[in-house]
Structure 1
């Protein structure tokens, strides 16, 4: 097959916490009028599976491409059954509900799902006083958590962290969390849409839940919650190629890695790779070229580059986020060690299990 960079449909969510920042701050075009909470830039989630919008594969679903060509699309060691990474722009104009996503084991045991949802948030913009609720305070037990959630006194049990533009936080499955208001996020996560939330209303439209539904949701959330997870924000670790490119590894773990590249001039930059790359533009339009294909990535536009392509050329200036399914040794540990980072520093990028520094 003659592969080329894939532009995809982007499912939209108009949840209660959304606003207009994805269009107004990022410059994303083609959005419908009204409140926009999330645009799903690359999605293989059931019910929201993206389709290719142009070229010889136009109309093909991402799911079908993964099933038919898993190694050519994603990488040599991948065998499906779905694209492993979900990426989103999220407008936290209002506060997101206090919620969590199950980890892998809990998702299989309680949700009958193949995997859970670990995620990371890269902060694209935040008001000066923006905060996030992430994880529980030390010493909080399930009884205290349940009482606080019913009282809607989240600060009594949850850690409130300052949110700063350019920082990233890795949020393992099972971590209770929320962010907003005044926050614009790029989220990268496992392909899943499972969650349990603590609010007495529907996230989609604010409709009230019955008391019985609300309490049942809180109890289900507590059953899936890890009381000891306390992730923190990080500025990332710098891996610049040269003075014209500022390359920062924002976060990494066994499920995904996220980098931010800032290219300061119009000198073409060539990058080789052996795995699928998701490029999301968070700056001005820039040029992108692969063998037999060339185009421009518009503001807040995303393209999925299949592994089989092997090389792209980027012409700046550009500010782009790149996410992928990493080989932790060759993509993360080896280059960071070569850049002089210790295991302790490398582990700040995310995964609390220590997978980033494992032998």
Structure 2
């Protein structure tokens, strides 16, 4: 593969499916995802380089190659500007069906992951609400003034509402959840999640989320202490509707969230509009939450069905998405160039821009290109 991108094309990946106890059938029934196994479907991992659940390419000349192997061999061509030296492809994306509530849990930040877990990074994440039942809520963050001892007592009593913030959930809203934030969502909530590539977590439940089997008391107490060691009390994020950027007639571009690790946007085009067109110099995860469409990058075209995903290597540089379309795009941003500057230029207040995630209130040392 050359540095000009010769030979690269839109990549279709294997998609691990998790059948945890909180799942239902929203992904095949509501989203229309084909090829799902029988029974509950909790998560589909759209792009993953998590150890043991790493994706492989299933189309074209690179079929059979692992995402990890391509990332290691061609970091500039595949990941592009978003590459920070690895060791893994930087983005993990999922559809999550919280037919029942997820476990109350958290993920370590980078420092805690290295110090306590022996892993290179932790996991900050964001949820975009695809669909939710009337009255749906999420638990996100711990109330101000709650300390470690009070939180421990509440977790042991499984009395989460006494210490956690319960927020209303609406379709189309997005929340950026910093690592170390205690959280859960569901029931009857369908989410698209973007996050750092990690599966580290500590949860407070008495049962295993994989099969619902009970956790022995000593192990459960150990889990709660590990959770408290990785808990960060300060984050209290809120859901936002996102912020729009100028786009062509009959189209909409909305920035849903952004931080040092990822950004997520939603692009829409009505049937009478021309194709959605986007230039990029970093890998793009493109997931379809609307009707089937066609994705074209130069001479390469790929159909993109409902609830399906393509990974666009950075070397491709340009994509056209046939209207009508309703897609999500995730990428590693340059916060100044991609997010802060264009949103401020579009007239959005600085406070609204900062509310989209982390590092948007001013120059951040973790920004790309700063």
TM interval, shorter chain, is over 0.9
Pick closer, same or farther for the CA change 1:261–1:269 going to 2, 3 Å.
Answer: closer
Moved over 4 A (4+): none
2:22 matched residue in structure 1: 17
State whether structure 2 residue 52 is matched by structure 1 residue 47.
yes
Task: Tell me if 1:331 matches 2:338.
Answer: yes
| RMSD of Structure 2 on Structure 1 (CA) | 1.1
Deviations 1:214-270 (A, max 9, x none): 111011101111112111100000113122111100000000000001111252233
Aligned to 1:341: 348
| Secondary structure of 2:58 counterpart | coil
In the alignment, is the contact (CA less than 8 A) between 1:271 and 1:312 conserved in 2?
A: yes
Q: CA contact under 8 A between 1:343 and 1:357: conserved in structure 2? A: no
1:154-213 Cα distance to aligned partner (Å, 9 max, x none): 000000000000000000000000000010000000000000000011110010011101
Contact residue 328 and residue 356 of structure 1 kept, 8 A: no
SS of the equivalent of 2:232 reads coil
Evaluate the alpha carbon distance shift between residue 153 and residue 191 of structure 1 in structure 2; reply closer, same or farther with a 3 A threshold: same
Residue in structure 2 matched with residue 180 of structure 1 by the alignment: 186
Among 311, 322, 346, the residue aligned to 1:304: 311
Match of 2:42 among 19, 37, 45: 37
Task: Tell me whether 1:128 sits opposite 2:131 in the alignment.
Answer: no
The answer (yes or no) to whether the contact 2:333–2:339 under 8 Å persists in 1 is yes
SS of 1:45's equivalent in the other structure is coil
Please show how residues 159-170 of structure 1 align to structure 2 within 5 Å.
Answer: 159-170=165-176
- Give the drift of 1:275: 0.8
Once residues 283 and 273 of structure 1 are traced to their aligned partners in structure 2, the CA distance between those partners, rounded to angstroms, is 22
The question of 1:87 aligning with 2:93 is answered: yes
Q: Deviations over 1:122-148 (max 9, x none)?
A: 000001110000001111111110000
Residues 159 and 109 of structure 1: is their aligned pair in 2 closer, same or farther, counting only changes over 3 Å? same
Contact residue 240 and residue 248 of structure 1 kept, 8 A: no
Partner of 1:316: 323
Q: Residue 292 of structure 1: CA displacement? A: 1.9
Partners in 2 of 1:153 and 1:240 — Cα distance? Answer: 45
2-structure distance, mates of 1:335, 1:257:
14
**8 Å contact 1:74–1:275 — kept in the other structure?**
yes
Q: Normalising by structure 2, report the TM-score.
A: 0.95
TM-fit CA distance, 1:355: 4.3
**Matches for 1:67-216 after TM superposition, within 5 Å:** 67-76=72-81, 78=83, 79-216=85-222
Q: Is the 8 A contact 1:346 1:357 kept in 2?
A: no
Q: Measure, in 1, the Cα distance between the counterparts of 2:361 and 2:280.
A: 20
Aligned position for 2:10: 5
Distance 1:343 1:214 in 2: 43
